[in-house]
Amino acid sequence: MPINPTDQLKVFKEGLVDLITEEELRQRLSEKRALRIKYGADPSTADLHLGHTVPLRKLKRLQDLGHQIVFIIGDFTARIGDPSERSELRPMLSPSQVKENAKTYEVQAFKILDRKRTEVRYNSEWLDQMKPQDFLNLTSQYTVARVLERDDFQNRYKNNQPIALLELLYPLLQGYDSVVVKSDVELGGTDQKFNLLVGRELQKVWNQKPQMVMTLPLLEGTDGIRKMSKSFGNAININDSPKEIFGKVMSLPDVLISRYCQYVSGLKSEEYEPIIGLVSSSPREAKAKLAEQIVTLYHGEKNAQAARQEFDRVFRDKGLPDEVQDISLKEKELDVVSLLHQTNLVPSKSEARRLIEQGGVKIDDVRVTNADQKVSLAKPVVIQCGKRKFARVKSQ
């Protein structure tokens, strides 16, 4: 790995959207010491998805250069909820919910980071200990006008949507974390830029050298449109089964292959460029190689190969997956829409009709074109709903 400041700077800059500022970072690297690089994550859900791994993989590259990663689990700030890019008030989480989620965060994060070389801190360590006077002093360091400059707050204010005072405090609390851990650099997604800059300003107040701010792009989910989020139903969780991860990656739009190769494959550019080169001639093979690599990262090579073999059997060779859910219904006959809904293959009858119209439903490997078609359950029938949902249904 490169060790001189110029070569290190190249690694720092790879894939970034913002770097504030490059000259300051160059100067700090010239001190030839391990920089304290802060990354914070609020345990608002139990699972980390591939979107979360974008900064974690960047941190691992910097960790390999010898820098100190300071991973802050925001167990205090998670109770408030980060308002970044929110169009509505976020419900507060209970301390017990946060505690349960936080248990899984370290385990999942250390599938990427080196535990022995990572300083893990929970921000409840200092925020729970704040006295009223300390808290009021913190709030006096920033103005409401500055906080309201954020686009998400501006939009909500213009649309007469509520903004809780608690939400206005969130950037200050996250920024104060930087003061406590004396970070040299803070890394986050582009949606975190404002919060990271607040930390930079607060450090100046506390007579610290201001942290450099580095942002990375937000990863689109499986729909190819919105950022990856469990609430949008477009997430690929790192704790998903090998088959789930493989199948979800295979469902990605072709235009995302390059982005996923760069940010979540764990491969260096010379390793993933051949995969990107396949996109124009064989996008399916490119996605299969990418999917196999991502499954390998979290489940090992053997499971990745098995996931690919099963996917090929189901979707290329027209076989069935190893595990098909068996369902018994009391009815002897049902129309297709009711059948899909009662077997919970779709959340609603309107979704069933939409899938049928799009050609996404098969019964015994025959595509359904008529939503009113009656299906006899006198003997078992195999239903395929979408690309990955299968069920074997019969009458009781």
pLDDT digits (tens, 9 = 90+) for 233-264: 788 998 889 988 998 898 888 899 999 999 99
The mean pLDDT of 32-50, rounded to a whole number, is 87
Looking at 315, 346, 363, the residue that finishes a domain is 315
- Look over the chain and give the mean of its residue pLDDT values, rounded to a whole number: 86
- Kindly state whether residues 361 and 275 are assigned to the same domain: no
- Kindly state whether residues 204 and 266 are assigned to the same domain: no
Give the distance from CA 227 to its chain's centroid.
Answer: 8
In the chain, the number of structural domains is 3
pLDDT at 174: 92
- The percent of residues above 90 in pLDDT, for the chain, comes to 41
161 near 87, Cβ under 8 Å? Answer: yes
- Kindly state whether residues 200 and 124 are assigned to the same domain: yes
Q: Which residue has the tokens 């946060």?
A: 98
pLDDT at 2: 54
Confidence class for position 1, pLDDT limits 50, 70, 90 = very low
In a 10 Å sphere around its CB, with 0-12 CB exposed, 13-18 middle and 19+ buried, how is residue 190 labelled?
middle
Lowest mean pLDDT across 24-33, 125-134, 360-369: 360-369
226 in a structural domain: no
- Kindly state whether residues 281 and 329 are assigned to the same domain: no
Could you tell me the CATH number of the domain that includes residue 380? 3.10.290.10
Q: Which domain holds residue 194?
A: 5-216
What global pTM score does this model have?
0.75
Q: Which residue has the tokens 């007469």?
A: 160
- Kindly state whether residues 46 and 100 are assigned to the same domain: yes
- Kindly state whether residues 157 and 280 are assigned to the same domain: no
User: pLDDT for 71-105, tens place per residue?
Assistant: 998 888 877 766 555 545 556 677 777 777 777 88
The mean pLDDT of 146-161, rounded to a whole number, is 80
- Kindly state whether residues 255 and 307 are assigned to the same domain: yes
Helix axes 165-181, 132-139, angle to 10 degrees: 100
